[in-house]
Amino acid sequence: MQIRENVSLKPYNTFGIDARTRFFAEAMTEEAVISIAESLEEVHHPLLILGGGSNILLTKDFQGTVLRVSAKGIRVIRENEENVWVKASAGENWDDFVSYCVAQGWGGLENLSGIPGNAGTSPVQNIGAYGVEMSDTFDMLEAFDLETKERRTFLKSECRFGYRESIFKLQFKGRYIILNVTFCLRKKPLLCLDYGNIRAELERMKRGVPRVADVREAVCRIRSRKLPDPVVTGNAGSFFKNPVILPEEFERLKGTFPGIISFPQENKIKLAAAWLIEQCGWKGKRKGEAGVHSVQPLVLVNHGNATGKEILELSEEIKRSVQDKFGVTLETEVNVI
């Protein structure tokens, strides 16, 4: 085990923010994750667990230890005629894992194609896209408890998944290191095609009866047109959550803004944050090196050398303008450090 000192985190976060950490360690196996976590004494605290660095905004140097979880591995743990249970180690690249499952013809994750990050961080905010959430196929995960120094298994019912939420983002934030995640996928897929432009994209592709591979390709095509590549332009995907409001509040807004975009959400209404932001004039706008993407206003971008603080300040301005115009509060989706 090697713990390095005074390390730049620029290569390890998709925003490309050049913040530094006092200590840095990388674990290539689950056993190494546990070994490093057990060895860290108070001098190395606080501890920041880093996966793919795709859902984080670093606003300052980190005065503790960053542990990058890079353990890889995919294996089938059981199956029957209808389903297959697949375990992914926490350091598996999420899209590579989805690609692997789709290549086997297993259904359930294809709508989540192209999402940056690693498998181990997917349960934390219950990632979702195009009408599907990770929790739809989630079965269980194993995690290391930093308080008790023991491994623990979490079943789906224990994770308290919600819209971009889980127990690991709320009550247990910072307590557990996720080691691996198991998904229950369908051998006879039930395709989800009615969200966004998936059907229209499939029609353009002219593939006939769609398969999971076709849905994955359609989603990747849509995402490539709408979202910036973090390798080219620093970003963390959607910076804000879509706000969820009560029906009576929606009726009030609809009376004033008849073109408002919405989606039913159980007994509530989900608004399109991108539409709200665009109506406030932010689409494509930039302040120095920090900016709003010119196609998808949910995405804040680093045009080169923006600091995390500058991006955070821009996000706060956007929140205030949406609140002033619509009376709606935007919540940040990324983890601000």
pLDDT, one tens digit per residue, over 124-153 is 999 999 999 999 999 999 999 998 999 999
Tens-digit pLDDT profile for residues 54-95: 889 999 999 999 999 999 999 999 999 999 999 999 999 999
Report the domain count for the chain: 3
CATH number at residue 51: 3.30.43.10
Which of 124, 153, 186 is a domain's end point? 186
Give the separation between CA 217 and CA 220, rounded to whole angstroms: 5
Which of 169, 186, 203 is a domain's end point? 186
Do 248 and 281 belong to one domain? yes
CB 274 within 8 A of CB 318: no
Nearest to 335 by CA among 62, 133, 41: 62
- Identify which has the larger pLDDT, 263 or 41: 263
User: Which pTM does this prediction carry?
Assistant: 0.88
Give the separation between CA 79 and CA 244, rounded to whole angstroms: 37
> Mind telling me the catalytic residues?
164, 238, 333
Tens-digit pLDDT profile for residues 92-104: 999 999 999 999 9
Q: Is 197 a member of any domain?
A: no
Q: Is 192 a member of any domain?
A: no
Please, which pLDDT band fits residue 43 given cuts at 50, 70 and 90? low
Give the separation between CA 279 and CA 285, rounded to whole angstroms: 12
Please, which pLDDT band fits residue 44 given cuts at 50, 70 and 90? low
CATH number at residue 319: 3.90.78.10
Max mean pLDDT range (191-200, 225-234, 271-280): 271-280
Which of 69, 102, 118 is a domain's end point? 69
What are the Cα distances from residue 185, in Å, to 91, 109, 244? 20, 8, 29
